[in-house]
A = this chain, B = another copy of it.
């Protein structure tokens, strides 16, 4: 097993960081690694906003649900799906690109491009001995986040990546078993086997919580998911994204 695979498999989210900023060289290298990821049709449909200002960090931490590790980290990268650049390009080149940019297809391209870049950034950081955590919590209130970061139309902040020197290790949560997430040749058709696999995974997750909390947390994966999903959140998203001129046709 090579070092890259070791780093990948050893990933865990870090939520406690030392009070030690990243250097500009580290930031630049992480961004360059992000950019080296594949991009759909060379579009590079994303932007990265780096936040050092402590006031901005405090506000973002509040908006993300008072997650202290947003504020106290080595650096905060905000990954945005970005089709504003391509809107400007349309003007520069005198071409009508609006229909394309408003499409669900290009919205998907921008999301995928941004996420591929982010995962490269995350691994680059981890390879440097840093810890990371993705913060989807900024999507709690994208209206405020967008105002704070002066985000133009056709740009959606997707998540923050908080990076820093780990002060505390966290545990690695067990993933869905290989046999369930991976389908051979076609999507699994056997519904009974499918449910049975989920029940087997429940046992694994249940044991994990049991051991981690000395028997206090009794939970399963499907139970946790069903509770969470029966309480819909961020239901303003469709309207917000459309108002920003994306995902419209």
Q: Which residues of A contact B (CB under 8 A)?
A: 2-5, 7-11, 13, 28-29, 31-33, 35-38, 40-44, 46-53, 56, 80, 85-86, 88-90, 92-97, 99-101, 103-106, 108-109, 111-112, 114-116, 118-120, 122-124, 126-128, 132-134, 136, 139, 148-152, 155, 158-159, 173, 175-176, 178, 181-187, 189, 191, 194-195, 198, 221-235, 237-238, 241, 247-249
Contacts and interface: CB of A to CB of B under 8 A. Distances in A.
Contacts of A123: 4, 8, 120, 123
Which 3 interchain pairs have the tightest Cβ spacing? A115-B115, A93-B226, A4-B127
Given A104-B241, A124-B4, A198 B89 contact: yes
Q: Max chain B CB contacts within 10 Å: which of A51, A128, A187, A247?
A: A187
Given A36-B8, A108-B237, A187-B155, A44 B247 contact: no
Given A92-B198, A95-B226, 8 more contacts: A4-B127, A8-B124, A49-B185, A94-B226, A103-B234, A108-B139, A111-B111, A151-B187
B185 A56 contact: yes
Contacts of A7: 4
A2 to B, nearest CB: 5
Nearest to A149: B186
A186 B52 CA distance: 10
A35 B172 CA distance: 12
Copies, count:
2
A109 B234 CA distance: 11
Nearest to A28: B178
Q: Max chain B CB contacts within 10 Å: which of A116, A139, A191, A226?
A: A226
A174 to B, nearest CB: 10
Q: Max chain B CB contacts within 10 Å: which of A40, A46, A53, A247?
A: A247
A46 B119 CA distance: 16
A40 B134 contact: yes
B3 A119 contact: no
A78 B238 CA distance: 27
B120 A36 contact: no
Nearest to A151: B187
Nearest to A118: B116
Contact of A31 (B86, B159, B182, B186): B182
A100 B232 contact: yes
A94 B52 CA distance: 45
